[in-house]
Each structure stands twice: as structure tokens, then as C-alpha cells.
Amino acid sequence: MRVSVAVIGAGPAGAAAAIECLRLGCGPVLVLEKTETDRRKSCGGGISPAAMGQLERLGLWDKISAKAQMVDSLLVKGPAGGWFQLGGPVEAAVMDRLEFDRLLRRALVRHGAELKRGIAVESLEQASGGWRLGCSDGGTLHARFVVLACGASSPLRGKYTRRRGSRLIGASALFDGVEFMARRVEMYFHPELNPHYAWLFPLPDGRANLGMCFMPNRGKKVLPNDIHRMLTFCLGDRLAGA
């Protein structure tokens, strides 16, 4: 099989790249995604003002904004318990990451890209006129251009890009019954998470996205009581009704 552009990975970066290629007339575009079904990721779901601008440029912002929670302030709590709040005229957005990914994947197909799921790219080699991709289904694909959008931990990224991704452990869940301000993101810093943090991101349906990210700790397992202890430090009695 031959295509003009092969995009490896159907996350936000891969979907946006596929749509942009088609808008520029660089088709046909094939997007390969190793997962067969949608899965929830440990992600706060924040959409920065810069990302909002890119989504608007791609013609996607109207559909996404209809399901997003707009935010305009940030509460930061330090490890000693002190806190401060920032706010201003610039808005960002928060959206359920699972729904965000689904909207982008539907959009790339609507724009004319072909999406194949359950296929991982196992090898990537330069060939005459482009690249040869060896796929997990035993097939071979030839593409003039390849876009790597397969995540920081992908072995392909380490081999073919100069930038090295860092690995983080993340844990998050959606909660009902947590008190929060609808237009405010909260970030919490604790010595055990240093230099990273825990978060509360508000969602438009009244739920809160609570989670944390931190560096791998020499193989130490993160137990549920560790997560509960951190969230209690962050939110205190606000977790009682969750």
C-alpha cells in the first residue's frame, strides 16, 4: 500500500497533523493507531489558549467548545500550605480527554483521512521516494512522508527524533460531589511529587478531574492509599462527599 502521508498515532497531535495535511492538499493520508478501542488517559484535560487558537484554525473549536468548561483563574497551593490565586482576561478550557480524543478522530475521518486501529508500526526505514513501514499485522506500507505522533515513550521517537521524552507516572479519575469553583483550575505542590504536582480541573457536567503526576520512584509502586493521602493533602474535607 502506498500513501502520500502516514501518521503514526491518532492522539491530538496525530489527528491535528492529519487534518492539516489534508487541508494543504497533501493526501491521501493514512493514520495508524495501535489501540483498538478508546481509552482514558491520566490527563487533566486542559486546553491552553494557544491550543484553542490552533483548534479554531482547523475548524474544530466550535464542536469542542460546546463540550468544554471555560476557565480564567488558577489556584496554586505550596507544600507548606500557603497559596495564591491568579486570574485575568485570558481564558483556557477543560474537557474530558476521552471525549476530546473521540471528537478529533471523528474529525480526521470527516476530513478524508483513513484511520486504521489496532495496528502498531514495528519498523521504519528510509526507502526510495520516502519511507517503508513494517506493521504489526504483517503488512508493509510505503509513504512519501511520515509524521511521528506516537508519544514520548515510543521507540520510534527515540530513534528518529532528536528530542528525548521524559517518563512520568500519572493517576487521575473523575469525581462527583467535590466542591470547586467552575471557572478555576487548582494545582497542588508537595515534596513527594517534586517537581510535579496534583490537580483539580473542573468539567462542565459538575464533575472534577482529580489527579497527579510524578517521576518514577526507583520501581516503588504507587498504592491507592498513597493517592488518597495526596488528594487529602490537596482537598481536605472537600473529598468527604465524593
In a domain, 54, yes or no: no
Q: What's the confidence (pLDDT) of residue 1?
A: 86
Q: What's the confidence (pLDDT) of residue 218?
A: 43
pTM of the model: 0.87
Q: Which helix (H) or strand (E) holds 10?
A: none
3-state helix, strand, coil in the chain (%, to 5): 25, 35, 40
What cell numbers appear for 101 in the block? Answer: 480524543
Claim to verify: residue 75 and residue 125 sit in the same structural domain: no
Domain edge (last residue) among 160, 178, 203: 160
Are 148 and 160 spatial neighbours (Cβ–Cβ below 8 Å)?
yes
Claim to verify: residue 224 and residue 132 sit in the same structural domain: no
- Domain count of the chain? 2
Q: What is the CATH number of the domain that holds 223?
A: 3.30.9
Q: Report the C-alpha gap between 72 and 87 in whole angstroms.
A: 6
Q: What's the confidence (pLDDT) of residue 39?
A: 84
In a domain, 61, yes or no: no
Q: What is the CATH number of the domain that holds 6?
A: 3.50.50.60
In a domain, 51, yes or no: no
pLDDT in tens, the chain (242 residues): 899 999 999 999 999 999 999 999 998 999 999 999 888 888 889 999 999 999 999 999 999 999 999 999 999 998 888 899 999 899 999 999 999 999 999 999 999 999 999 999 999 999 999 999 999 999 999 999 999 998 877 778 767 766 655 677 788 889 999 989 989 999 999 887 878 889 999 999 999 999 988 776 644 555 666 777 778 878 888 888 88
Q: What's the confidence (pLDDT) of residue 31?
A: 97
Give the domain range for residue 197.
Answer: 69-92+167-239
